[in-house]
Amino acid sequence: MTRPGPQRVLVVGHGSIARKHLTVLERLLPDAAKAIWMPHRPPAAGEPAFVRSLDEVDAFAPDIAVIASPASEHVAQARELLRRGVGVVIEKPLSDRPDDALALAREADSSTGIAMVAYPMRFYAPVESLRRAVADGGVGVVESLHLRSTSYLPDWRPGVDFRRTASARRELGGGALREVSHELDLLVWIAGMPRAVASDLAQSPGLGLDVETSVRLLARYDAGTRASVHLDIADRALSREVRVVGSDATLVWSLADHAVRRYDATGAVVVYQGSDADWGAMYENEIAYFLDCYARGTSPEPGIDDGVRVMKIIGAAQRSATSGNWEQP
């Protein structure tokens, strides 16, 4: 049995990702009333109504909400909305601190609202096809995984001073580990939680920020699988790749052409050819999936527990960068 779709939608925050979600919600729920929770900035012409306090949130009475504020605010806002039975999509990362993420997970178990953490690359067709092939035994026994993401933070939001964004500010949960944690979620989605991680974190002198801009992370698994994750937000050469090395074959996805290639004893072949449209559709796919879960009353994935797993890896990576040792998530 399904319930009616949401009639009142709240978007928390008004940065670039909040606006992206609002655009998607306008397409998927054109008749739903919409409001933005922003305590400080007045609305511009043509924007939905703003709410500025929990009393005004209660008066608006949202059915669902997308939390797209700085990571340092996610847990407090999600806690209040879940207590009110609101279904929430929480932008990644779940929090700026692993302990807060764990506390939210414990509280969410007793709430009546459903919750999803926004890792949209799970809804990007080429990566979905790669993960499905690995799960179906398409590479044999997985021996190693290698995930890479490079981009240049000043290019993320044209016309905006990158130094003032949450991505660049430690107190708001910025830095490559959290801002590009998509790859950490994909690591867990494809291979599960590692037993231990080791990391090296570095800052780019050229960008002059107090957050890490480069991450080199190694992961070990009980079954002997090894993984590496390379994240860099000070690299002008945009790239993204997932490589899964197995006993029978290697699968490689690259953002450059949206293709998944299989390499085995017979050579190389494209097993999935995606497009720019797939990349552009993943945010809408993600929200459409959440709305389906809302209608059915089912728990979406990635859920809060998945977000906690990523936060545990982030915490272990930070400890390893300080201790110089392998650390357990």
| Cα dist from 286 to 77, 141, 247, whole Å | 21, 30, 32
- 8-120+283-302 and 122-282+311-323: same fold? no
- What's the pLDDT at 49? 78
Q: CATH assignment of 8-120+283-302?
A: 3.40.50.720
- What's the pLDDT at 51? 86
- What's the pLDDT at 42? 63
- What's the pLDDT at 16? 87
Domain ranges of the chain: 8-120+283-302, 122-282+311-323
* 166-211 pLDDT, tens digit each: 888 988 889 999 999 999 999 999 999 999 999 999 999 999 999 9
Rounded to two decimals, the pTM is 0.94
- Segments of the chain with pLDDT less than 50: none
- What's the pLDDT at 1? 65
- What's the pLDDT at 136? 97
- What's the pLDDT at 40? 63
* CATH class of the structural domain 122-282+311-323: alpha beta
